[in-house]
A and B are shown apart, each in its own frame.
Chain A
Amino acid sequence: MVEINFNHRKPTDVIALRRLDELKSVHIDAKKSLVTIGAGLPYQQMEHGEIAQYIPALAQAARTVGSPQIRSAGSIGGNLGTCSPAGDALPVLSALDATVNLQSADASRSVSVHDFMVGVKRNARLPGEIIVSTTLPIVSGWQGYAKVGVRNAMVISVASCCLVVDRTNGTITVALGAVGPTIIRCRETESWLASQIDLKTKATVSPNLLQEFGDRIANESKPIDDHRSTAAYRRHAVCVLARRLLTRANSQ
């Protein structure tokens, strides 16, 4: 809509996807521990209730999107469609290895979010496909999302981070937003941390380990200088955010 307002795009045909109730559905499969969220479900409806209960990191990310006006309209489908590295829901989808469900007139397919996000504002959606929903696992363990912006409300992320602890499998996943061409999964740091502590138990992270964790996360980021911030600040910010989230995970 913004692109039309600014005359950057002049489509001749439009489809009002927001009127499709099917795109706003939430399906919780307790047996398979999966939540499928319609691509058009407004962020406002993720802040509380079932989604906040099963995927708290997503509720936290939803809470940081824009303003009440934006959260009553904006959705994961929009974040995925735009595929900006600063999209608030995207680090959560990445850290949870979400699946993106797409539908065209004659076929449907599911793609890993890692394959879906191709680059800055580029994704793997084909012409004629719409993003129907995303499927996320219900994970046992602490999870959280944090972001840095120039103020609390109504800001696009300067840097963001999602951290998920999976106590069952003894893994930790970390995804970074706004510090690379697309969302960055810190796989090297993840396996390093898993080799240092037993994540199945509530092993505490020593100050030295926490320090190195942040440094390693910062090393995996690939930030740039732009109109919102500098690469140096962003590298520092993801280091602080990741340490903060790991500290929170530990105190639970």
Chain B
Amino acid sequence: MNPNSEIYNLRVNGKMHEVRDSWVGESLLYVLRERLNLPGTKGACEQGECGSCTVIMDGQAVCSCLVMAATAIDSDICTVESLSVDGTLTEVQDAFVTEGGVQCGFCTPGLVVAIEHLLSQNPDPSEIEVKEAISGNICRCTGYGRIFEAVDKAVSIRKAKTS
């Protein structure tokens, strides 16, 4: 073990994970992907610009590349892996597939997490609220049109289910 290494626990997707032999100054993104084998969260810009590493930390959407592992200890972390249960896609994930909201797919996990977070707080967002919620998620393929269509579809399916 190197002298700056520690053993600590992180609560990710409702489960405690022990992180061994690693430095608490690493980014949460790095810990999720390289230490906890949760590669759904993507790393691209590593400076908070692109949103592909978005996770939910204590109920807030954050860029995991900007969160130090030491900060994340004692927090509740939810990653894209926690959304689908038993392999069934959520309405948002499914709508991304059916509406063509995915091209290269690299931004998709971050967008899905950001949109699920929005809908958990605001089940029927206006167009401007959707734009605002994903303003920190950059997609260079779709031009966003199909992503907005996917959000509309997911919203209407959820509305139909709850009414």
Residues of A near any B CB (own CB < 8 A): 1-2, 4-6, 11-16, 18-19, 42, 44, 66-70, 72-73, 152-154
Query: Which chain B residues (42-97) contact chain A, with CB distance < 8 Å?
Result: 46-49, 51, 54, 60-63, 65-68, 70-71, 73-74
Does B105 sit within 8 A of A, measured CB to CB?
Answer: no
A4 and B135 contact, CB distance less than 8 A: no
Interfacial chain B residues near A18, Cβ < 8 Å: 68, 71
Q: Are A153 and B135 in contact (CB under 8 A)?
A: yes
Map CB proximity to A onto B111-146 as digits: 1 under 8 Å, 0 otherwise.
000100000000000000000110111100000000
8 contacts between A and B (CB under 8 A): A1-B68, A6-B46, A16-B70, A66-B48, A69-B61, A70-B66, A73-B66, A154-B49
User: Nearest A residue to B60 by beta-carbon distance?
Assistant: A72
Could you say which residues of chain B place their CB within 8 Å of the CB of A66?
A: 48, 136
Q: Is the CB of B27 within 8 A of A70?
A: no
Closest to B48 in A: A70
Whole-angstrom CA separation of A19 from B74 in the bound complex = 9
Which A residues touch B24, using CB under 8 A? 14, 16
The smallest beta-carbon distance between B122 and chain A, in angstroms, is: 12
A6-B47, A68-B136, A153-B136 are known; give 5 further A-B pairs, CB within 8 A: A1-B27, A1-B65, A16-B24, A67-B136, A70-B48
Decide yes or no: A14 and B61 within 8 Å by CB, A5-B46, A66-B136, A153-B135 being known contacts: no
Q: B25 within 8 Å of A by Cβ?
A: yes
Is B4's CB within 8 Å of the partner chain A? yes
Considering the chains assembled together, what is the distance between the CA atoms of A16 and B27 in angstroms? Answer: 12
Closest chain B residue, CB of each to CB of A153: B135
Nearest Cβ in chain B — how far from A87, in angstroms?
15
Most-contacted residue by chain A among B27, B46, B65, B135 (CB, 10 A): B135
In the assembled complex, the CB of A49 is this many whole angstroms from the nearest CB of chain B, namely 16
Q: Which residues of B contact A1 (CB under 8 A)?
A: 27, 65-68
A68 near B47 with CB under 8 A, answer: no
Tell me, in angstroms, the Cα distance from A69 to B62 when the chains sit together.
4
Contact assessment for B66 and A2 in the assembled complex, using a CB-CB cutoff below 8 Å: yes
Complex Cα spacing A1 to B51, Å: 15
